[in-house]
DNA sequence: CCAAAACATGAATAATCTTTCGCATTTGAT
DNA sequence: ATCAAATGCGAAAGATTATTCATGTTTTGG
């Protein structure tokens, strides 16, 4: 199902589903965008549970009532944020995935995929909390799983393109593991023991050593 | 500093610090133990934030007032739980670490360390949530970091025993990464895509491939 | 310029938790 | 058996949030 999305006076609003009502004017659309920005920041700072709607409204320079003008509840805000991230991730993968990926040497492939993803994460404060965080409400867990599934599916597709003999289920399995490893390294990002650059190098070395035997057998 | 611990009528109580007062009778000590058990279960089910003191008291078959008889607040309960886990982990590592570890083949080493740890995790419902969870209150984050540091320190020690030429800082760094990877796989434990046995096998394969070059260079 | 629709506001309400406190019951020592 | 200390109890107070709503302001189409 293609995602509905509003364009209101030049401002793109893609939070089609969870909104209480669609904005009719530019200021409404801008406010929604500002609220999502603010939510990303607050969630990035304190996590989903500790993030309050008042904090989000304040950071968006908006009255609490205005927030509820468009979002029916706190969860809908996060849903909107997740939709935004999902769309952005799709665009990144669409740019990453080209025919030459199937035959690219493994080290180059890792650079090609990991670098844009890490850059994306670096610029979205709330992303890590929602992508690697555990334990949320049932519905929210489902929504965040969608984000992960998006990434896992793309990576599995790349595996299958490179290793046509690899069963779909195996591709899925290794993709789940690889994505989880990337998540784990994201969680290490503010450990004072290494720089981000060292961390990225180590991540790539790890994935390289893990995947070489796989590609050797099925490539 | 050695940990204080009470023995009250045969029941061991090691929650020395965070308690409002030390139990004087056996029933008090038992109640504390039951509350910690209940907290572990509830936190394992819904996570720390969603776990309420009323839920914990109910699962411990205790009135909410009794809970506060010993624990000054919700956080102290988790502190107590973490102390319990830390002590248990210490005991496990004390049993694991023997002189022959330094020269054991790497695959056997992985079995030796990972199997007991995973078995420990399997039997403690709240452990995973506190060990791999993100984003808690400042103090709680510090307390859970202690748990991780305990494990990281032990693993780093093993690295140094096997690779005497490896600088302490490098041992620490690889230990942090390895422990984070183990955490990541714990987070995969209820993914329906593989059995736990397959997951453990993949974890060991991954760590083996990651660590072989390291030991080859410094061993 | 005007009226209707859209949007903004924040005090008030409502729901959810944590924590307290006065009183009841149990235990251990004499 | 009796008393003081320890423990148990749960309704109610206190805190924190999410959410609503009555009312004021801005925008838009005509």
CA–C1' A81–D29 (A): 33
State the average pLDDT over residues B57-61. Answer: 98
pLDDT score recorded for residue B10:
59
Same domain, B87 and B134: yes
A134, A177, A209 ranked by CB distance to B210: nearest:
A209
- Checking each nucleotide's C1' against the CA of A27, the nearest proves to be C7
Q: Which of B41, B16, B13 is nearest to B27 (CA)?
A: B13
In a domain, B15, yes or no: yes
In a domain, A109, yes or no: yes
Same domain, A62 and A82: no
Q: How confident is the model at residue B219 (pLDDT cuts 50, 70, 90)?
A: low
State the average pLDDT over residues B109-116. Answer: 98
Residue B8 has pLDDT above 70, yes or no: no
In a domain, A61, yes or no: yes
In a domain, B192, yes or no: yes
The last residue of a domain, from among B72, B105, B130: B72
Residue A2 has pLDDT above 50, yes or no: no
Q: How confident is the model at residue B136 (pLDDT cuts 50, 70, 90)?
A: low
How far apart are the CA of B154 and the nearest CA of chain A, in angstroms? Answer: 16
- Checking each nucleotide's C1' against the CA of A60, the nearest proves to be C8
What's the pLDDT tens digit per position in A84-143?
Answer: 999 999 999 999 999 999 999 999 999 999 999 999 999 999 999 999 876 666 677 888
Alpha helices in chain B (DSSP H): 26-50, 53-59, 64-70, 74-96, 106-123, 125-132, 138-162, 168-187, 196-218
Angle, in degrees to the nearest 10, between helices B138-162 and B74-96: 10
Q: For position A13, which CATH number holds?
A: 1.10.10.60
The last residue of a domain, from among B22, B50, B72: B72
- For residue A212, list chain B residues with Cβ-Cβ distance below 8 A: 209
Selected residue with higher pLDDT from A81 and A6: A81
Q: Does A48 touch chain B (CB under 8 A)?
A: yes
Same domain, B96 and B138: yes
Same domain, A126 and A170: yes
Could you give the CA distance from residue B217 to residue B101 in angstroms, rounded to a whole number? 18
Task: Tokens for B17, please give them.
Answer: 């610090």
Average pLDDT over chain A, rounded to an integer: 91
- For residue A49, list chain B residues with Cβ-Cβ distance below 8 A: 49-50, 135
State the average pLDDT over residues A33-62. Answer: 96
Same domain, A125 and A198: yes
In a domain, A171, yes or no: yes
pLDDT score recorded for residue A9:
59
Same domain, A151 and A194: yes
Residue B1 has pLDDT above 50, yes or no: no
Same domain, B90 and B188: yes
Q: For position A106, which CATH number holds?
A: 1.10.357
- For residue A193, list chain B residues with Cβ-Cβ distance below 8 A: 169, 172-173, 176
What's the pLDDT tens digit per position in B11-46?
Answer: 655 655 689 999 999 999 999 999 999 999 999 999
Q: Does B177 touch chain A (CB under 8 A)?
A: yes
Task: Give the residue whose CA sits closest to D8 at C1'.
Answer: B66
State the average pLDDT over residues B75-91. Answer: 96
Chain D bases near protein Cβ (<7 Å)? 5-12, 17-22, 26-28
Same domain, B142 and B173: yes
Count of pairs with CB atoms under 8 A, one residue in A, one in B = 85
A154 CB inside 7 Å of strand C: no
List the single residue in A with minimal CA-CA distance to B204. Answer: A210
Average pLDDT over chain B, rounded to an integer: 91
Task: Express the helix, strand and coil content of chain A in percent, nearest 5 each.
Answer: 75, 5, 25
The last residue of a domain, from among B21, B41, B72: B72
In a domain, A1, yes or no: no
pLDDT score recorded for residue B217:
79
What are the Cα distances from residue B143, in Å, to A68, B14, B26, B75, B129? Answer: 36, 16, 28, 10, 13
Q: Does A114 touch chain B (CB under 8 A)?
A: no
Are B133 and A134 an interchain contact pair (Cβ–Cβ within 8 Å)? yes
Q: How confident is the model at residue B183 (pLDDT cuts 50, 70, 90)?
A: very high
* Residues near chain D strand, CB within 7 A: A 9, 25-27, 50-54, 64-65, 68, 72-75; B 21, 23-25, 27-28, 31, 62-66, 68-69
Same domain, A113 and A214: yes
Domain span holding position B16: 6-72
Q: How confident is the model at residue A3 (pLDDT cuts 50, 70, 90)?
A: very low
Q: Please give the tally of structural domains in chain A.
A: 2
Are B180 and A172 an interchain contact pair (Cβ–Cβ within 8 Å)? no
State the average pLDDT over residues A8-13. Answer: 59
The set of residues, in sequence order, having a beta carbon less than 8 Å from that of B171 and lying 6+ positions away, is: B156, B157, B159, B160, B163
pLDDT score recorded for residue A14:
60
Of the ranges A7-11, A70-74, B37-41, B208-212, which one carries the lowest mean pLDDT score? A7-11
Same domain, B119 and B68: no
In a domain, B1, yes or no: no
CA–C1' B53–D21 (A): 33
Q: Does A176 touch chain B (CB under 8 A)?
A: yes
Residue A12 has pLDDT above 90, yes or no: no
Same domain, B147 and B185: yes
Same domain, B83 and B68: no
How far apart are the CA of A80 and the nearest CA of chain B, in angstroms? Answer: 21
């Amino acid at each position: 199902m293609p995602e509905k999305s509003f364009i209101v006076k030049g401002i793109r609003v893609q939070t089609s589903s969870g909104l209480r009502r669609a904005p009719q004017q530019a200021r409404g659309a801008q406010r929604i965008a500002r609220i999502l920005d603010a939510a990303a920041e607050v969630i990035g700072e304190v996590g989903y549970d500790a993030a309050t709607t008042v904090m989000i409204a304040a950071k968006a320079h908006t009255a609490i009532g205005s927030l509820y003008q468009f979002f029916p509840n706190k969860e809908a805000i996060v849903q909107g944020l997740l939709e935004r991230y999902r769309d952005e991730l799709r665009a990144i993968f669409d740019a990453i995935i080209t025919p030459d990926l199937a035959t690219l040497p493994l080290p180059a492939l890792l650079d090609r995929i990991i670098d844009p993803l890490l850059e994306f994460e670096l610029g979205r404060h709330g992303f890590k909390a929602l992508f690697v965080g555990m334990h949320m409400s049932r519905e929210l867990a489902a929504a965040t799983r969608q984000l992960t599934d998006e990434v896992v599916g793309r990576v599995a597709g790349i595996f299958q393109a490179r290793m046509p003999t690899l069963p779909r289920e195996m591709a899925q399995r290794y993709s789940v593991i690889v994505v989880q490893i990337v998540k784990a390294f994201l969680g290490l990002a503010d450990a004072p023991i290494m720089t981000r650059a060292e961390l990225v190098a180590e991540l790539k070395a790890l994935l390289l050593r893990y995947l070489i035997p796989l590609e050797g057998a099925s490539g």
